[in-house]
Amino acid sequence: MMLIAVYKTLKKEGMFLYVPNKGDFSAVPEPLMAQFGTPQLVMMLPIAKRKVLGGVDKQKLIAAMDDPGFYLQMPPKEENWLEAHLIEQGKAPGAAEG
């Protein structure tokens, strides 16, 4: 059974780093680790019985463990409710009122 270590960052909510071995960040580029900060272990995730893992396609995740050796999950894009409202009203976002 393959286990993947899942880490979160305290710098950006919803961002996760998946690595094939607990505590092994050797494949993660140094600039990325510097931006990610100190990884906080969230869980050890068995991938055998699941199709989707934390919103990530299982095959994509397995492939990423081989090359480049990690997977970075970015947080979902936050919806801009004001922009959506302006578009519904037929007004271009950022346009000056007048």
Domain that holds residue 73: 3-88
Q: For residue 34, is pLDDT > 90?
A: yes
CA distances from 67 to 17, 72, 77, 95 (A): 14, 12, 26, 44
Residue 40 dihedral angles phi and psi, to the nearest 5° = -110, 115
Mean pLDDT over all residues of the chain?
Answer: 84
Q: For residue 96, is pLDDT > 70?
A: no
Q: For residue 93, is pLDDT > 70?
A: no
Q: How confident is the model at residue 98 (pLDDT cuts 50, 70, 90)?
A: very low
CATH of the domain at 68: 3.10.510.20
Beta bridge partners of 16: 8, 73
> Is residue 72 included in any domain, yes or no?
yes
0.85 surpassed by pTM: no
CA distances from 58 to 7, 23, 27, 39, 77 (A): 17, 21, 20, 22, 21
What does the pLDDT look like over 52-88, one tens digit per residue?
A: 666 788 888 889 999 999 999 988 776 666 777 677 7
Number of domains in the chain: 1
Considering the chain, what percentage of its residues have pLDDT values greater than 90? Answer: 49
> Is residue 16 included in any domain, yes or no?
yes
